[in-house]
Amino acid sequence: MIDSIPTVICSDSPGIDDEEANGKPRPNMYLAAAKAMGRKPAECLVFERSYTAAKAARAAGMRVVVVTNDAAKFQNLATGTVPSLTDFDAMIWKLIPANSTE
């Protein structure tokens, strides 16, 4: 799954400083990540596990997929949920073309 995502930025990625990374529920880290990729927040898709982190990503204006077995908890916050990252389908999210063999 991770191979189908063009860019992955984590809290310890270059260009994301500790203050931004530890700022949840503020959207700073997410906005810095979008800037580091040269993307608008609305063009980004975030994977998170916690309500606070998902809320911060949404506050940044990003789509959020929450990795959880409790989808109901996130129904008004997340763009979508998956029980594990292996259940994420990049074609559904149009990250790779439908005719791709990935």
Burial (CB count <10 Å: 0-12, 13-18, 19+), residue 102: exposed
CA dist 10 and 31 (Å) reads 12
Residues 6+ apart with CB under 8 A from 15: 9, 32, 33, 35, 36
Q: How confident is the model at residue 4 (pLDDT cuts 50, 70, 90)?
A: low
Q: What is the mean pLDDT of residues 36-57?
A: 90
- pLDDT of 99 strictly over 60: no
HSE (side-chain half, CA atoms, 13 Å) at 25: 7
Q: How confident is the model at residue 86 (pLDDT cuts 50, 70, 90)?
A: confident
pTM above 0.95, yes or no: no
**Residue 102 or 10, more confident:** 10
Question: Looking at residue 93, what is its pLDDT?
Answer: 73
Q: How confident is the model at residue 7 (pLDDT cuts 50, 70, 90)?
A: low
Q: What is the mean pLDDT of residues 8-13?
A: 63
Are 20 and 28 spatial neighbours (Cβ–Cβ below 8 Å)? yes
Locate 61 and state its tokens.
Answer: 């204006």
